[in-house]
Amino acid sequence: MATKLWDKGIEPDRMIEEYTVGNDRELDMRLAKYDVEGSKAHIRMLESIGLLTGEELKTLLGGLDRIADMIERGEFSIEEDVEDIHSQVELMLTRELGDVGKKIHSGRSRNDQILVDIKLFMRDEIRAIARSVEAVFDKLITCSDRYKDVLMPGYTHLQIAMPSSFGLWFGAYAETFVDDLQLLAAAYRIADQNPLGSAAGYGSSFPLDRTMTTRLLGFADLHYNAVAAQMSRGKTERATAYAVASIASTLGRFAMDVCLFMSQNFGFISLPPEFTTGSSIMPHKQNPDVFEVMRGKCNRLQSVPNEISLLTTNLPTGYHRDLQLLKDIIFPATEELKRSLAMCDFMLDHIKVRTDILDDSKYDTLFTVEDVNRMTLSGVPFREAYRSIGLAVKEGTYKPTRELHHTHEGSIGNLCNDKIRLKMRKVMSQFGE
């Protein structure tokens, strides 16, 4: 059986070990390359302060490079009797290099080791989510430009309200994603801080050069206070979870609109038959299952911040094993969000919009506000104009002019998509790429 990093000559009960380790081996596979990356920075720092010789550093870097190559080729695994990724990497180095492999852990604890792995992983994961959102944004803005002159009903209380357009509808979701990315950028800034060197949460008597490892790992800043560094476990995941939930909220709402607008009672948009599903007994059905599943997945993702909050609430200062469970919450969540965004990106290429919706007389009253405003601009007091049009609607004599004169920023006639694109470019610049 492999020796554990914390081994003191006492073997834990097998049942205890299985319960406490859980599915860490499987989850830690996603951290493998980051554990190697963090270890490389750490041993370079150890050599700079005299805890490793130049030859030992070269030997260890060679061993870590070989492990990194195995990870890249998909040949790396965490052995069944090995507790986690940190133990596996050190075990492999020790098997290959002997005692020099045991020196890699000087000046650090598994506490700051997992912290730096998580920070590096979350930093990359956040960037990947941002790119996925940007791809959907680009499709939405393209659709907004393409259909800017195609009118559709606007609703309040699910009652027809005022004229809208597909340009306005697609563009609304595009700009809302920009706001979501502001939250994601905040999470990125929290993740982009180096915890390495905080050890078990109280620093080390070794003269560690934490500024050096910050530079080597490409972090923007350092978690200076060693206790604060340990307290960031859960904080990074929670901030990311709030951003994930915000993005999921926007995506789920769009999915709901698609489901609603595809129904025959609306009939505003459609998908090719091969992008819908059927019924086992109703031969006419073309169901929007993709967007229904997307809506459901996005609703589930909005529970993730609460799950993390409940897990981390009222924990006292210092590391606690509860925090291990964070991986099982945030890892699947980020992966699910990326999958749903990719599916939306794909489906947007195939949505067809109906161009003659407002030709139906049932939408005539959409134009009442336009006609009230037209009368007001001609000199009729607003309340008189409102009353006049309202009376015509009540008596069934209202005939809309169907003229639209929307020119202000963000209206049907002035979508400002160029400004929205600029907002997206600015927020994407915050992700360090």
Q: How far is CA 172 from the centre of its chain?
A: 19
Arithmetic mean of pLDDT, 262-280: 89
Q: Specify the pTM.
A: 0.93
pLDDT band of 6, cuts 50, 70, 90? very low
Q: Where in the chain is the domain with CATH 1.10.275.10?
A: 14-106
131-145+166-205+223-357+419-431 CATH fold: Fumarase C; Chain A, domain 2 (1.20.200)
Arithmetic mean of pLDDT, 138-158: 97
pLDDT tens digit string along 61-110? 999 999 999 999 999 999 988 888 999 999 999 999 999 999 999 999 98
pLDDT given at position 1: 44
pLDDT tens digit string along 10-33? 566 677 666 666 677 888 999 999
Instruction: Tell me the sheet residues that pair with 277.
Output: 287
Residue 313 has pLDDT above 80, yes or no: yes
Q: Where in the chain is the domain with CATH 1.20.200.10?
A: 131-145+166-205+223-357+419-431
Least confident of 79-83, 206-210, 263-267, 291-295: 79-83
Strands 221-222 and 193-194, sheet pairing:
parallel
Amino acid found at 182? Q
* CATH 1.10.10.2840 given to domain 14-106: no
pLDDT given at position 13: 66
pLDDT tens digit string along 186-237? 999 999 999 999 999 999 999 999 999 999 999 999 999 999 999 999 999 9
H helices, E strands: number in the chain: 16, 6
Arithmetic mean of pLDDT, 127-137: 98
**Which among 92, 80, 1, 98 is positioned nearest to 39, based on CA atoms?**
92
**Element holding 65 (H helix, E strand):** helix 54-73
